[in-house]
Amino acid sequence: MDNKMDSKLNYCLDPEKLTNFAKEHCEAYAQADPFPHIIMDNFFPEEILDNILNEFPKADAIDWQKFEAAPEKKLASKSEIQMGEYTRFFLYQLNSSTFINFLENLTGIDGIIPDPHFVGGGLHQIEKGGYLKIHADFNRHTKLRLDRRLNLLIYLNKDWQEDYGGHFEMWDTEMTQSQKKILPVFNRCVIFSTTDFSYHGHPEPLTCPEGRTRKSLALYYYSNGRPAEELSKSGDHSTLFKARPGEKLQLKKSPVTKVKNFLKKLILE
């Protein structure tokens, strides 16, 4: 890392700014509908995000993890090794003690633990026609055995028009309506608490011009234990997709579910 790059990266996080922001917005975060969240525009240094955008790999440039099932059609990075220098340094900063203290003060969640493996997170990219149906997230980190508590999303889409779509939506607990629709414009950050009832996603197919994609950074944060009221059932679960009114989702059943259904059918017969 050269001196020029190092001098720019020193200004990623301003502890005083973070502390003041958390104090001023913690109450609004807790009271936000349909679940605790905050939307922050131009929160991070634009120069840093410019550099990240410049080194963001194209859809055919790396070995992306490809999701092509009925409820999701998107690309996600597999490893931090696939990321450029600016991206890695920035994500490390967002896993730092300085930023964790900010998250705890903002959200009221004590004992937040970052994920050094970026499981499910890192770089996300959605091509034209792609989407991510409404869902609640997986609730446990299988490697760290921790409870997932927070999502942080940073969008990297300059000159993004409303008719391109790609809105991030937040839905009510009963899945009756979308209560927030957020355009994924450059340097817009969304932080929200994740529970079994924090339904969210990018459900409509992307309609941006050919050659453009919806780019974002994603980080997830954990704790050792969580309030029981945040769970719909005991035990670990993967992503819980939810159909919108009038929508039919064709969810692929896991081998375990198929066996259970088969045995249940045998017993009933």
The two structure tokens encoding residue 43? 């929160």
Amino acid at residue number 180: K
In this predicted structure, what is the pLDDT of residue 234? 65
State the CB neighbour count (10 A cutoff) for residue 201.
23
**Quick one: pLDDT band at residue 2, thresholds 50, 70, 90?**
low
State the CB neighbour count (10 A cutoff) for residue 108.
14
In this predicted structure, what is the pLDDT of residue 233? 76
15 prior amide bond cis, ω within 30: no
User: Each residue of 92-132: pLDDT tens digit?
Assistant: 999 999 999 999 999 999 999 999 999 999 999 999 999 99
pTM of this structure? 0.90
Q: How far apart are CA 84 and CA 105, in angstroms?
A: 30
The values of phi and psi at residue 59, to 5°, are -60, -25
User: Each residue of 33-71: pLDDT tens digit?
Assistant: 999 999 999 999 999 999 999 999 999 999 999 999 889
The two structure tokens encoding residue 87? 């991206």
User: Each residue of 214-248: pLDDT tens digit?
Assistant: 999 999 999 999 999 999 876 899 999 999 999 98
In this predicted structure, what is the pLDDT of residue 250? 77
Confidence check: pLDDT of 170 > 80: yes
- Enumerate helices (H) and strands (E) in the chain, giving the number of each: 6, 14
Confidence check: pLDDT of 255 > 90: no
Confidence check: pLDDT of 23 > 90: yes
In this predicted structure, what is the pLDDT of residue 171? 98
In this predicted structure, what is the pLDDT of residue 235? 80
Q: How far apart are CA 124 and CA 91, in angstroms?
A: 13
